[in-house]
Amino acid sequence: MSSCDPKPATEVAEQLRKLILALYDEFLSEDGKEVDYEGLANSDGWKRYLQKAAELQRADLSVLNREEKVIVIVIFQPLTL
């Protein structure tokens, strides 16, 4: 698979899940009520997340089942904040 070929949506979603969990660990307060948005916005982890999320634009989401589509939406949601 060349770097131009779209990766399977499930693979991209799993990588995004791992990245977002790492970001939660680093920038979400222990009680889950506060986010260090400035730290998040300036972090390399956030930049990696954005790069990986861009891969979803080329992924074939039609092959996903309903549960997998929901997971992709939840993982993609931080981009709307």
Q: pLDDT exceeding 90 applies to what percent of the chain?
A: 36
- Residue 31 within a domain: yes
Residue 28, φ and ψ in degrees, nearest 5: -100, 135
What's residue 53's pLDDT?
84
If pLDDT is split at 50, 70 and 90, which confidence band does 2 have?
low
If pLDDT is split at 50, 70 and 90, which confidence band does 75 have?
confident
- Residue 46 within a domain: yes
Q: Is the dihedral of CA 21, 12, 47, 76 positive or negative?
A: negative
- Residue 2 within a domain: no
- Residue 80 within a domain: no
Which is higher by pLDDT, 42 or 61?
42
Whole-structure pTM value: 0.73
- Residue 16 within a domain: yes
- Residue 4 within a domain: no
Tally of domains in the chain: 1
Q: Which tokens belong to 43?
A: 């972090």
Task: Check whether 9 has a pLDDT greater than 60.
Answer: yes
Domain residues for 23?
9-75
**Cβ atoms of 45 and 23 closer than 8 Å:** yes
